[in-house]
Amino acid sequence: MKKTSLVIAVLIALGLLVTSAFTFPLSVRNGLVSDYAAGKTLTIRGYDHTPFTYNLTTNTKILPSSMDNDVTPGARVTVFAQCFHTTRTSGCMALSIVVRQPATNSTQTTTSGATPQPTPQATATP
């Protein structure tokens, strides 16, 4: 009986070790898109300006789906990814990209067709 309990305990420990060695934790990161190659890679810069590059697959989802053309440099996104590190390679595979705010540029027009005007800056009075 003691031998059976010991064998079961060892098997459970080995199972936990193997599972943790091959489990890739979920990574969630917010940032601004700095480079995007559709279906290949996405690079974002975090708030500390550190670049993070993600590999994209055919299973990578862009949410909401109506904004898949808005993944352009300057867009604010949240990336859900699985990151892995082995002796030969390392990287992160994006599972989904949530576009929180599309990139803005100065030539973009509003829905009414009018070109937005720059906001006046306050100046000090002498």
The answer to whether position 61 is within a domain reads yes
**Tens-digit pLDDT profile for residues 49-84:** 889 999 999 999 999 888 878 899 999 999 999 987
The answer to whether position 119 is within a domain reads no
Cβ–Cβ < 8 Å for 61, 78 = no
Q: What is the mean pLDDT of the chain?
A: 75
Q: Looking at residue 39, which CATH number applies to its domain?
A: 2.40.50.140
The answer to whether position 8 is within a domain reads no
Q: How many angstroms separate the CA atoms of 111 and 90, rounded?
A: 43
The mean pLDDT of 17-21, rounded to a whole number, is 50
The answer to whether position 15 is within a domain reads no
Structural domain including 28 reads: 24-101
The answer to whether position 85 is within a domain reads yes
Q: Give the count of domains, the chain.
A: 1
The answer to whether position 31 is within a domain reads yes
The answer to whether position 13 is within a domain reads no
The answer to whether position 123 is within a domain reads no
Strands 90-101 and 76-85: antiparallel
